[in-house]
Amino acid sequence: MRYIRTNDLKRLFSLKRCSFDSGISRPMALGGENSIPDSPTPTEIPKENNHSDQRTSPAVAEDSQRRPTWRCFSHEEVYAATDGFSPERLVGKGGHAEVYKGVLLNGEEIAVKRLTRGSNDDRKVKDFLTEIGTIGHVNHPNVLPLLGCCVDNGLYLIFQFSSRGSIASILHNENLPTIDWKTRYKIVIGTARGLHYLHKGCQRRIIHRDIKSSNVLLTSDLEPQISDFGLAKWLPSQWTHHSIAPIEGTFGHLAPEYFTHGIVDEKTDVFAFGVFLLEIISGRKPVDGSHQSLHSWAKPILKQGDMERLVDPRLVGAYHVAQLGRLALAASLCIRASATWRPTMNEVLEVIEGEETDLERWSMPEDEEEQEEFWGFEDLECECDGSFSSSISQEDSMSTESSRS
């Protein structure tokens, strides 16, 4: 497996610029020894083995067949749109990227992600190709769409700009009004649908690997959009999981099998979604000031069935009791230590959308429940503290500066 170098990359995108504008869905595939890794086409991905998930709505099916229309931007366009990457335009920053707000000549607002990951140029190109190859064909209302890229004088990804910012920047900003329960429920449903699409409705099985509130943006009509695919992996149909090293992600969201063995599959995202659910319900951060993780705090409350203690006190009791029960149940299933006993995103949607749920189906044997207690999430996270590699900070999101102030 080889990757093209920076000059080859620029030459390739220059040759393919016209193809991008006309909507070719796989512009990076080349023959010869310097081609990038083969990508599966929709016909190469049969139904996954060992998965009972059959949920694919007509909208998802239509989206999965639609060809992307992202294009190649010139550096002049990107430079002008961001006022020369002015510090005043910087809206997000992490270990691997900087995000700038930009405005195109037609008035369209964009978010420009300038990749800075890795000191080695070949590694940076590889990471860029991996990310763009993962999200270049994604098309769903609850996933942030890729508008294009730029490979002149650096590597850049261009997305639609979210004026409202990330869920984290809104939920945890004391200077902003509290998000009401109806909006929270809408955020949960939309995020679940977007994640289900990545796992099942997309041309590839995509594992996001960093689902968290700072990576979910809110549109002007309050629709959530999953963003930041810097850690995402796609799974060929014949693979049951990835084995990954080093471990990358965000504390408080890592599934036990991932931070202990480096095993990644759809259930890795399900665990992180469970933490996201608890954050939306409670208004608490994934890790508090005493370094206690949210799921460790919530787990005994969920076990006792005292759901009211989970609810954000800022709501002052203004929430839907039945919806709270469904979200709490879904969260309790998602954060189980054993991936085997976690639901798929299809099953999560069945629970939170109110479809009939057989509780006996999710009852675990006593030995499994004892194993849950044995894991001790908090202890495991502390043990991993020394070797953990964080990819993106909590503030690295495509949002406005005002939404985080």
CA within 13 Å, CB half, 92: 33
Q: Are residues 216 and 361 in the same domain?
A: yes
Q: What is the mean pLDDT of residues 82-102?
A: 89
What pLDDT sits at residue 136?
A: 82
Best mean pLDDT range from 51-55, 298-302, 385-389: 298-302
Is the pLDDT at 304 greater than 50? The verdict is yes
Is the pLDDT at 403 greater than 50? The verdict is no
| CB atoms closer than 10 angstroms to residue 316 | 9
What pLDDT sits at residue 109?
A: 94
Q: State how many domains the chain has.
A: 2
Q: Are residues 144 and 216 in the same domain?
A: no
| Residues of the chain above pLDDT 70, percent | 67
What pLDDT sits at residue 249?
A: 62
What pLDDT sits at residue 256?
A: 83
Active-site residue set: 210
Q: Are residues 132 and 193 in the same domain?
A: no
Is the pLDDT at 177 greater than 80? The verdict is yes
| Residues of the chain above pLDDT 90, percent | 43
| DSSP secondary structure of 270-336 | HHHHHHHHHHHHH---SB-TT--BHHHHHHHHHHHT-GGGGS-GGGTT-S-HHHHHHHHHHHHHHT-
pLDDT in tens, 379-400: 444 444 433 333 333 333 343 3
Is the pLDDT at 67 greater than 80? The verdict is no
Q: Are residues 113 and 226 in the same domain?
A: no
113 is an annotated ligand-binding site residue: yes
Q: Are residues 74 and 37 in the same domain?
A: yes
Q: Which of 69, 43, 65, 44 is nearest to 56 (CA)?
A: 65
What pLDDT sits at residue 233?
A: 82
Task: Give me the residues paired with residue 217 across strands.
Answer: 166, 225
Q: Are residues 34 and 125 in the same domain?
A: yes
* Cβ-Cβ contacts under 8 Å for 308 (sequence gap 6 or more): none
Is the pLDDT at 283 greater than 70? The verdict is yes
Query: Which amino acid is located at 33 in the chain?
Result: E
Is the pLDDT at 240 greater than 60? The verdict is no
- Residue 1 placed within a domain: no
Q: Quick one: tokens of 316?
A: 């002052």
Q: Are residues 281 and 201 in the same domain?
A: yes
Cα separation, 89 vs 84, in Å, equals: 9
What pLDDT sits at residue 263?
A: 80
Q: Are residues 232 and 346 in the same domain?
A: yes
Q: Are residues 150 and 233 in the same domain?
A: no
Query: Which amino acid is located at 132 in the chain?
Result: I
Q: Are residues 98 and 189 in the same domain?
A: no
Best mean pLDDT range from 200-214, 254-268, 323-337: 323-337
Is the pLDDT at 56 greater than 80? The verdict is no
What pLDDT sits at residue 23?
A: 39
More confident residue, 209 or 42: 209
What pLDDT sits at residue 194?
A: 97
What pLDDT sits at residue 172?
A: 94
